[in-house]
Structures are given as structure tokens and as C-alpha cells.
Structure 1
């Protein structure tokens, strides 16, 4: 289904932030790797988190769920032998489970999204697992991929140039191996803040890992066990970034609850960036309030630590006075689509004045708005869909976003929340 976004005069109301996809997937995996029963409260409901639920169940975890929690009896270090695993379009889930599957003898990961996840590379993780003794069949570093374990601890090197998810995958795996491991990260590690989230979850699960200050070296004692426990998932900043940015480009009075002020999510930076753009935004007691005027100033921002909020901030910058620059964002190219080239191509169709460099997005703001009146490609990417929706709110003519249902990958209720706040949005077949 497509979505038509029409010019909107005002946003007003209050919503609860959805639960964090990143924390949900990590807590679910930690619970599955534990011997015993764990509880994950306030889990996210999205295609990614649902993919992790489904896959850990296929690997032998037992799950019971109600409206507030998931109770999980883990499989520990002995995932069930299965012939085939389908992660859907969930890149992080794939990478985490590529590593965990090395505890088994033979797991084949199928390719059901050849135009999205099927295009994404996983060479660096494949190389690291091969160093540890895994035998891996793959399609030039892409799906379909077959992993044959077992693996052993020891010294392993992994590149951080493309994605931090490769490192996180190894951090989940190596504590369960008999021998100690030493992980050396080469290159410029992307999204270090997200690695911090992984370490936070591992610590809560009773796993001990020693990391140096710049995350270039990790020492992981072997023979550890994940401790069964209870986890509470915090509100999600990446999804909320789109709501806050939308409220900033229009006259608004919008409240988003359950956004932890002291969160370790890198995308929390959206609060600071929107303030730098002179959006009237307060953030106290885990409640963010935007009383927008529709007037914004240009900004320069290093987006590496806030990858999943960059597209929403770029959308806000489309309407800011002056030229904005978002730099150190090359890893955006290795997501569900190339979130620099593909996203900017759609922004141009809508009437935005944007340009790209290898690791930068430059936005020449148009405070008067954009023309719109086009049908644009979502590239099957949830972040692109949310960001293009922001642009449509201030387009002179309606913007149609193709295949907008893919927003469900991370934020199934995004359009419901936007409509509740007053956005002029309509689903069409």
C-alpha cells in the first residue's frame, strides 16, 4: 500500500514513544542464550523484533507473550539443529544470528528480500567467523548464507568500517565459547554508541567483557553463561526522531512520553540537534515537548553516533534557513537501501535542494516549502518512509510514498500516531 501525505497546518497532541527496536532484539537474544527463564517487559512490536522472536523460537527458545511482556525459556549455548532460517528483512537480526548459529553444525539463511537485505554485504562478519573456524558458504558476502560450526575462541579481527553489528554479533557469541577471546577492531568503527548498548545488555545478562576506551580491543573470558533475568525496554529514539522533527517543521504542540533523558541511544542527539536548529523543544522527566513555529536554522552535525535519526534531521533541514551539513555518515549507504544516494534522489523529486558526498549530506534549506506533487520511491526502507513523510507535510502538492507499509519494519504505528497528531495522511491501494 502507498501513503498520500498532504500539506498540514498544525500538529497537536501527546503520544507514548514506541519501545526500542535495538534494545528489544538484544534482550530477546540475551534471554534466548540464557539457561533458564527471562522476562522482557514492554517489547517493541516491529518486523525486526518479530523476526528475532520467530528465529529464536525456531532455534529452540520457548516464548509466551501477553500485552506487556514476553517470557522466554532460553536454549543457552545449544541452539536446536534446524536446516533453514528466514530473518525476513532484518539486517541486525541476521548478523547476530549468523554468529550465534556458529554454535550449531549447519544453518542455512535464505534470501527472501533480494532487493533489500539481499543486497547488503556481510563479508566482514563472515571473515571474522571464518577466522574462528566456521565454514561458510555465501553469495559474494550476501545472502543466501550457510554457516557450519563449531567455532573456537582465540584472537579474531573484525572490521568496523561498514557496520558495528558485526562486532556486536561477536560480542554475543564469544562469551559462550570454551576459550578466551580477544577481538581487535580495525578501521573506523561505525556507530560506537550502539556497541555501548550491546555491552549494556550483556552486562545486565551477567556477561563480563573488558573493552578499551576507543572500542578497538575487547577481551572476552570464555566459559561464561548468560544469566536469566528481567529486562525493561526503554522508549525508542530513532522512531521518535521522526515525530519530533515533524513537530519542529510545523506550528505544533506535541508531547512524546517515555524518552529517557539519560538514554545511551545515540539517536537521543535529535533533541540537541533540533534545539541547535532553534526548535522550541523541552526534555525533562523523560518527556519531550515541541511547541513548533515552523521556523528553523541550519545546522552542522556529525551523524555517526545517531545514524538512525539522521534522515529525519535532514528532512527538518529541508525547511531550515541556510545550508545544513550532516557528515561522517557513510554507513548510511549500507542500510536497507543506500540512504544517501537513494534518499536524496527522492528528496530532489519532491523539490528539495540537496547534494551528496561520499560521507556527507548537504541541504540547502527552503523555508518556503517544497513543490511536491510527485510519487516517490520508499526503497522498502522504514527510515526513508518516515523522513519523506516529514517533507510531505510542507509540500505545496501531495506527495505519494510508494510501498509505505514497510514502515512496519521498526514503527508499525507511525502513521496512526501521525494522524492522531493531526497529520493529513491517507492510505491508498
Structure 2
């Protein structure tokens, strides 16, 4: 379905932040890797979470859920043999489970989204797993991928970190279960270090001991560890909330978002600081962000690697800022559900934004007077692009139509419901 976003003069109200997708998928996996029963309170309900639940069920976990919690009896080090796994369009779920799948004799990850996840590369993780004695059949690093494992070896492992931190996270979930101790060295650069901090936090909560260097480029992991079955509580989600906060920033507003911890390890917590730097009137206290927007923003320069999944929303806010903004160190955006630099900026230009790109930068020449709109734009089946384009629509002079906007459900199924509750003029159309 498509979404028509009509220019909206004011947003007002209070919402509860969505639960974190990143933490939910990690808690689901560590619960499955434990022997015993774990409970996850306040889980995120998204296509990514559903993909992880579906796959761990296929691998032998017992998963029971209601509106408030998910209860999981795990399979530990012994997932059930299965021929195929379907992760849908969830790249993180695929990458996390590729290492877990190395415990199986043979499994194929199928390619159900050839125009999105099917285009994304996974070579760096494949090379690392092959060095551990795992045989992998693949299509130039892309889906479908068949993994033949059964007895992966620990030891000295190298993995490149300059495309995605998810490859490293994947190995960190697997190596504690191996018979041997392991050392992991990250080659080249490591993108999204803050997300590795989330992985390490979840592993520690699950009873796993990992020694990490201060720069997060070297790790020592003892083998023969066991995941501990226990109760986890999922915190509010900053990546999804970034779009709500940006929307409140570009129009007159009085918007309150609850459940956003000030000291969260989510890198996207930095979007609050980005908006403050752009002179958006807001406060952040006691887990509550309160935006009193006046539609006036000031351009700035920001290291996007600190808040990868919030960059697009901040770029949308910068479209209406006074001056030229620069978001640098963002090349890894090119390797997401779509090329989140070229594809996104192409659609922003259609709406009337003045933007340019470099290989690892997004440059925004602000238009405080607003953009024209009045166009149909393609979000490339990417939930983050959908949310970011909707922000631009709120301040356009004419409505914009976002194609296939239902794919926002990948991470934030209630996004447009929340926007509408705050007063946005949004309408689903076939």
C-alpha cells in the first residue's frame, strides 16, 4: 500500500516509544542459545522480530507469546536440523543466524527478497566462517547461501568490519559455545561500534564472558560457555523514535516521547544531541524527550557512524535547516536494504530537496522555506527511507505519495498510527 502525506502545520501529544528492534532480536537469539526458559518483557513487534522468532522456532526453540512478553525454551548448542531458513528481508537476522547455522550439518538460507536483502553482500562473514572449518555455498557473497557445518572450530579468527558490525556480532554469539577458546581480530575499520556495545551488553546479561579491547578491535572468548536462561526487559527504540523526533522538529509541535533512556547504549541516542545542535527546542529527562518545535533549525556537521539508523531522519530534518549540513562517515548506509545514500537522495530531490552525495557523505543545502512536494516517490522497500520521506512530506507545499509504505512494518508497524495520533495528515491508499 502507498501512503499519502499531506503538509501538516502542527504535531501535539504523547506516545510511548516503540520497543527496541535491535535489543529484541538479540534477546531472542541468546534465549534460544540457552538451555532452559527465558522471558523477554516488552518485545518489539516488527518483521525483523517475527523473522527471528520464526527461525529459532524452526531450529527447535519453543516460543510462546502474548501482548506483554515472549517466553522461550532454548535449544542451547544443539539446534534442530532443518533444510531451509527464511529470514524474509531481515539482514541482521540472516547474519546473526549464519554463525548459529554453522552448528548444523547443512541448511540453506533462501532468497525471498531478491531486490532488497538478496542484493546485500555477506562475504566478510562467509570468509570468517570458512576459516573456522565451515563449508559455504553462495552467490558471490549473496543469497541463497548454504552452510555446511556441524563442528566449527574456535581459535584465531579474523573478520572485516568495514561493511557491517553485524558480522562481528554474529561470531560473538557463536564462539562462546565452541570447544576451543577463540580470539577475534577485526580487520580494517569497524562500522557502528556502538552497536557492538549493544551486543556485548546482551551477551554479558546472558552470562557470557568476553574480553574486548578498548577500541573493540580484539576479543578473547573462552570456549565451552553456556548461555543463562533468564528474564530480559527491552528498552525503548531510538532508531524508530528518531523519525518521530525529527517530524516534531520540522513543524510547530509539543510532542512527548516516553521510554527513551538517557544513558542507553543505542548509538542512535545521539539523535537527541544532533537535534539540540540544530537548535531544536527539546529536553531529555527521566527517560522522556519533550520537543517544542518551532520549525526553525540550524545546519551542522555530524559523524553519522555514531547513529547509523538515525541518519536518514536527521537528513530529513536538515532539509529544512538554515545553511548547509554535512553527515560524514556514512558509507555503510550503502549496504542496507537499499543504497541509503544514492537511492534516498534521488527521492529527496524529487520532493524538492537540495542534496548531494559523496562516497561516504550526505550534504544537505537547507531550504527553510520548505520543499515543493506534489510527487510520487519510491522508498525502495526500505523502512528507514519510508519514515524519513514522511518527515519531508509534513513540511512540503503539496502532498507526497510514498510507494509501498507498508514496508515500514519491518521495524515500526505503528509508525503512521503514531504520527496520525500526533496530528499528522497521513492516509493509506491502494
Give the 3-state SS of the residue equivalent to 2:302 in structure 1.
Answer: strand
Distance apart, 1:305 and its partner CA: 1.6
Name the structure 2 match of 1:322: 323
Q: 2: CA distance between counterparts of 1:282 and 1:107?
A: 49
Once residues 66 and 388 of structure 1 are traced to their aligned partners in structure 2, the CA distance between those partners, rounded to angstroms, is 33
For residue 318 of structure 1, report the CA deviation from its aligned partner: 0.1
Match of 1:281 in 2: 282
Partner of 2:58: 58
Q: Secondary structure at the match of 1:188?
A: strand
Give 1:157-306 correspondences, 5 Å limit.
157-306=158-307
Aligned-partner SS, 2:14:
strand
Give 1:409-420 correspondences, 5 Å limit. 409-420=410-421
Q: Distance in 2 between matches of 1:96 and 1:20?
A: 17
CA distance in 1, matches of 2:402, 2:300: 27
Q: Which residue number corresponds to residue 144 of structure 2?
A: 144
**Which residue does 1:19 correspond to in 2?**
19
d(CA) in 2 for partners of 1:217 and 1:263? Answer: 23
Question: Structure 2 CA distance, aligned partners of 1:8 and 1:384?
Answer: 19
Q: Distance in 2 between matches of 1:40 and 1:7?
A: 39
Runs of 4+ in 1 over 4 A off after TM superposition: none
Residues in 1 aligned to 2:216 and 2:244: alpha-carbon distance in whole angstroms = 32
Q: State the Cα deviation string for residues 285-321 of structure 1 (Å, max 9, x = none).
A: 0000000000000010001020000000000000000
Measure the CA separation in 2 of the matches of 1:65 and 1:343. 36
Q: Determine whether 1:33 maps to 2:33.
A: yes
| Residues 373-425 of structure 1: CA deviation (Å, up to 9, x unaligned) | 11000100000000000000011111000000000000000000000000011
Aligned equivalent of 1:348: 349
Note the C-alpha offset of 1:66: 1.1
Q: Are 1:377 and 2:378 an aligned pair? A: yes
**How far apart, CA to CA, are the structure 2 residues paired with 1:342 and 1:251?**
29
Residue 109 of structure 1 is matched in structure 2 by: 109
Tell me the CA shift for residue 118 of structure 1. 0.1
Q: Which runs of 5+ in 1 are unaligned?
A: none
Cα deviation per residue 1:319-363 (whole Å; 9 max; x = unaligned)? 000000000000000000000000000000000000000000000
2:223 is paired with a residue whose SS is coil
1:71 alignment counterpart: 71
- Separation (CA, whole Å) in 2 of partners of 1:105 and 1:139: 20
Cα distance in 1, alignment partners of residues 425 and 357 from structure 2: 30
Q: Cα offset for 1:67? A: 1.0
Distance 2:69 2:38 in 1: 10
Query: CA–CA distance in 2 between the matches of 1:64 and 1:406?
Result: 25
**Whole-angstrom CA distance in 2 between matches of 1:294 and 1:366:** 12
Distance 1:376 1:68 in 2: 36
2:114 equivalent to 1:95 = no
Q: Which runs of 5+ in 2 are unaligned?
A: none
Query: 2 CA distance for matches of 1:274 and 1:48?
Result: 28
| Alpha-carbon distance between aligned partners in 1 of 2:242 and 2:281, rounded to the nearest angstrom | 15
Q: Secondary structure at the match of 2:189?
A: coil
Question: How many Å apart are 1:225 and its aligned residue?
Answer: 0.3
SS, match of residue 15 in structure 1: strand
CA distance in 2: counterparts of 1:92 and 1:396, whole angstroms: 37
Q: Deviations over 1:48-102 (max 9, x none)?
A: 0110011000000001111110110000000000000000000000000000000
Equivalent pairs, count: 429
Equivalent-residue separation in structure 2 for 1:187 and 1:376 (angstroms): 36
State the Cα deviation string for residues 131-184 of structure 1 (Å, max 9, x = none): 000000000000000001121101110000100000000000000000000000
| C-alpha RMSD over aligned residues | 0.4
Report the 3-state secondary structure (helix = DSSP H, G, I; strand = E; otherwise coil) of the residue aligned with 1:223.
Answer: coil
1:118 aligns with: 118
Q: CA deviation at 1:188?
A: 0.8
**Cα deviations by residue, 1:110-129 (Å, 9 ceiling, x for unpaired):** 00000000000000000000
| Aligned residue in 2 for 1:399 | 400
Distance 1:3 1:398 in 2: 10
Question: Matches of 1:326 and 1:304 in 2, distance apart?
Answer: 9
